[in-house]
């Protein structure tokens, strides 16, 4: 192109020059840092070389040609990608051809005895069915599905899916350049991970066509944030490639939401890597962070060196396996494994949140045990959960159990610097209306008001605090009248 255009644009943009310089400096620093990270990845890769890349601890067999039916045995045609080509073969990726063109497929087969983190893949079949209530909740009221939510979840009809994309967001320009899928083949006692890669945007149609064949017969996509990210991004691609309706819309089993329900406060973040390390026993010491995947792919596009993608393949493959681990974990929770062969969460908050999640997802009996375990805890950090647990008992009409917890919560409040007075209010109500002991109710109400005054009004919503105090004052007044009445008579 003419240098004139570049010059002109640069001149017009000169006002942004200083910003650009700063960016350039930052980029350099970034590149340097990444070079180190890359070194790490390559080292990890080459160490794995003997049993081909990506094999997790126990090793899987990487094989080619999981081609669609009728297309077995397509030879390897010459590719334009020179040095990239060999490197891809080295990564275990092979060309797949169909009516829509060609793309790369890398297949890793794991025996069901394979362990990924705390669990063995073979545990999946026994727990998958337990996920039914989770799926039912996530797919409730969806009108875009072609099939109704099935009555049962079958292991082999689950498709585990994780994409790597060129950018953030779900706009039309964000391209999933790698789609990792996984599924169980119980007869062969295998779990298969297939990774579909496009070497350039022209291969997308072929990849999508293949993906459609893999969707066939599956009831659910198992993902981490797939409902709002991976799936919409894929739908974009189908639309852009002329599939106006992308065929049967699968149901979702998205573990982001359950993970948030459990770990929102007890983990620093609900990033998949964090959960893997802290809760699923999966270590990714030498992994390429997922956030670098777009950068690495764009580098591959520009330089043609497939080696840039080695780390991305490994990362994505492990992500797919982790989805299985998550499915086992949540299925296990719903099967009541916690407190049986699995240890209960250490933190009272996590115990409470897990119990509540079980309560809401059709596991009230297991929830019951967890709540019982929670109230048996005597550490201070458990006290905060007495009130909400009492609230549950109250809702279930188990007032005696609730009352016992309110008494404990009220005691705890008395010791607190910033006390809550809710337990006192509950007790006041209980004694007034149920036990019919107005005098005792009055004592609790009066004490509640004292506590309320100890607590400063919320800066954001002072009106609410004032209303609460007023409400208490009314209650006290009424109780005083009640308690005085017999004397007057």
Partner 1 sequence: MRKKKSLLEMIDDLRTNENIVNWYEMPPQEAKTRPMPESVDPRIRQALHKRGISELYTHQETAFRTVTAKENIVAVTPTASGKTLCYNLPVLQAIARDDTSRALYLFPTKALAQDQKSELNEIIDELGIDIKSYTYDGDTSPAIRQIVRLAGHIVITNPDMLHSAILPHHTKWVSLFENLKFIVIDELHTYRGVFGSHVANVIRRLRRICKFYGSDPVFICTSATIANPKELAEQLTGSPMRLIDDNGAPRGRKHFVFYNPPIVNVPLNIRKSSTIEVNNLAKEFLKNKIQTIVFARSRVRVEIILSHIQELVKNEIGSKSIRGYRGGYLPKQRREIERGLREGEILGVVSTNALELGVDIGQLQVCVMTGYPGSIASTWQQAGRAGRRHGEALIIMVASSTPIDQYIVQNPEYFFDRTPEHARINPENLIILVDHMRCAAYELPFKTTEAFGPLDVTDILEYLQEERVLHRHGETFYWAAQSFPASEISLRSASQENVVIVDQSDVAAVKIIGEMDRFSAMTLLHDEAIYLHEGVQYQVEKLDWDHKKAYVREVDVEYYTDANLAVNLKVLEMDRTKDSRQAAIHFGDVSVNMIPTIFKKIKLTTFENIGSGPIHLPEEELHTSAAWLELKEVDPEIGTKSLEQLLLGIANVLQHIVPVLVMCDRGDVHVTPQIKAAQTGLPTIFIYDHYPGGIGLAEDVFKRFDEVRDAAIHLIRKCPCKDGCPSCIGMEIAGMNGKRKSIQLLNLL
Q: How far is the CB of 253 from partner 1 (least distance, A)?
A: 21
User: Number of residues in contact with partner 1, rule: CB under 8 A?
Assistant: 35
27/189 with CB nearer partner 1: 27
DSSP 459: S
Site for partner 1 (CB under 8 A): which residue of 37, 109, 136, 240? 240
**Cα(308)–Cα(388) distance, rounded to whole angstroms?**
51
Which of the stretches 53-61, 168-176, 260-268, 311-319 binds partner 1 when contact is defined by CB under 8 A? 168-176
Collapsed DSSP state (helix, strand, coil) of residue 408:
helix
Quickly count helices (H) and strands (E) in the chain: 19, 10
Site for partner 1 (CB under 8 A): which residue of 9, 396, 439, 473? 9
**Cα(192)–Cα(60) distance, rounded to whole angstroms?**
9
Which of the stretches 5-13, 51-59, 95-103, 185-193 binds partner 1 when contact is defined by CB under 8 A? 5-13
15/395 with CB nearer partner 1: 15
Q: How far is the CB of 10 from partner 1 (least distance, A)?
A: 10
Residue 289 near partner 1 by CB under 8 A: no
Residue 136 near partner 1 by CB under 8 A: no
Which of the stretches 90-98, 161-169, 360-368, 469-477 binds partner 1 when contact is defined by CB under 8 A? 161-169
Residue 247 near partner 1 by CB under 8 A: no
Site for partner 1 (CB under 8 A): which residue of 212, 298, 407, 476? 298
Q: How far is the CB of 139 from partner 1 (least distance, A)?
A: 16
85/432 with CB nearer partner 1: 85
Q: How far is the CB of 17 from partner 1 (least distance, A)?
A: 8
**Cα(342)–Cα(363) distance, rounded to whole angstroms?**
16
Q: How far is the CB of 362 from partner 1 (least distance, A)?
A: 26
Q: How far is the CB of 18 from partner 1 (least distance, A)?
A: 9
297/393 with CB nearer partner 1: 297
For the chain, the 3-state helix, strand and coil shares in percent, each to the nearest 5, are 60, 10, 30
Footprint on residues 185-214 left by partner 1 (CB under 8 A):
200-202
Q: What is the DSSP string of 373-422?
A: HHHH--SHHHHTTHHHHHHHHHHTT-HHHHHHHHHHHHHHHHH-SS---H
Q: Determine the straight-line distance between the first and last CA of the chain, rounded to whole angstroms.
A: 104
31/381 with CB nearer partner 1: 31
CB atoms within 10 A of CB 381: 10
**Cα(117)–Cα(108) distance, rounded to whole angstroms?**
18
Site for partner 1 (CB under 8 A): which residue of 33, 43, 47, 172? 172
- Among the residues of 185-309, which ranges form H helices? 204-215, 231-240, 256-263, 272-275, 293-303
Phi/psi of residue 416, each to 5°?
Answer: -80, 150
**Cα(33)–Cα(20) distance, rounded to whole angstroms?**
20
In which residue are the tokens 């609410």 written? 464
**Cα(73)–Cα(443) distance, rounded to whole angstroms?**
84
Residues lying near partner 1 in the complex (CB under 8 A) are found at: 1-2, 5-6, 8-9, 11-15, 166-173, 175, 200-202, 232, 235-236, 239-240, 244, 294-295, 298, 301-302, 459
């Amino acid at each position: 192109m003419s240098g004139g255009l570049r010059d002109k644009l640069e001149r017009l943009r000169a006002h942004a020059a200083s910003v650009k310089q700063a960016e350039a400096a930052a980029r350099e620093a970034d590149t340097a840092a990444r070079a180190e990270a890359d070194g790490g990845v390559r080292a990890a890769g080459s160490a794995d070389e003997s049993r081909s890349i990506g094999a997790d601890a126990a090793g899987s067999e990487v094989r080619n040609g999981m081609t669609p039916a009728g297309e077995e045995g397509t030879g390897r045609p010459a590719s334009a990608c020179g040095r990239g080509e060999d490197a891809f073969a080295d990564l275990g990726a092979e060309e797949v051809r169909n009516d829509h063109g060609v793309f790369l497929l890398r297949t890793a087969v794991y025996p069901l005895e394979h362990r990924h983190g705390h669990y063995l893949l073979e545990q999946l079949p026994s727990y998958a069915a337990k996920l039914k209530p989770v799926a039912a909740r996530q797919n409730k009221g969806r009108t875009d599905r072609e099939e109704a939510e099935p009555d049962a979840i079958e292991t082999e009809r689950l498709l585990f899916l994780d994409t790597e994309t060129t950018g953030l967001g779900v706009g039309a320009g964000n391209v999933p350049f790698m789609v990792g899928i996984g599924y169980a083949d119980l007869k062969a006692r295998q779990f298969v991970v297939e990774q579909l890669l496009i070497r350039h945007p022209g291969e997308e149609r072929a990849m999508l066509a293949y993906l459609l064949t893999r969707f066939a017969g599956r009831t659910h996509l198992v993902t981490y944030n797939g409902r709002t990210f991976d799936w919409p991004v894929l739908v974009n691609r189908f639309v852009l490639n002329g599939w106006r309706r992308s065929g049967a819309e699968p149901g979702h089993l998205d573990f982001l939401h359950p993970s948030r329900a459990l770990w929102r406060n007890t983990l620093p973040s609900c990033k998949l890597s964090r959960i893997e390390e802290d809760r699923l026993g999966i270590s990714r010491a030498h992994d390429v962070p997922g956030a670098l995947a777009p950068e690495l792919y764009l580098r591959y596009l520009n330089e043609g060196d497939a080696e840039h993608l080695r780390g991305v393949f490994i990362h994505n493959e492990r992500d797919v396996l982790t989805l299985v681990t998550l499915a086992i974990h949540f299925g296990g929770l719903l099967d009541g494994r916690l407190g049986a062969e699995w240890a209960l969460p250490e933190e009272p908050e996590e115990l409470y949140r897990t119990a509540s999640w079980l309560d809401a997802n059709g596991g009230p009996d297991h929830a019951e045990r967890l709540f019982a375990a929670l109230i048996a805890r005597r550490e201070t950090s458990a006290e905060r959960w007495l009130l909400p647990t009492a609230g549950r008992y109250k809702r279930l009409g188990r007032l005696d159990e609730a009352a016992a917890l309110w008494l404990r919560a009220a005691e705890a409040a008395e010791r607190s610097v910033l006390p809550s007075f809710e337990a006192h209010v509950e007790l006041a109500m209980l004694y007034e209306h149920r036990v019919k002991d107005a005098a005792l109710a009055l004592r609790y109400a009066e004490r509640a008001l004292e506590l309320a005054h100890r607590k400063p009004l919320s800066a954001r919503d002072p009106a609410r605090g004032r209303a609460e105090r007023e409400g208490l004052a009314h209650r006290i007044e009424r109780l005083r009248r009640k308690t005085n009445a017999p004397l007057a008579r």
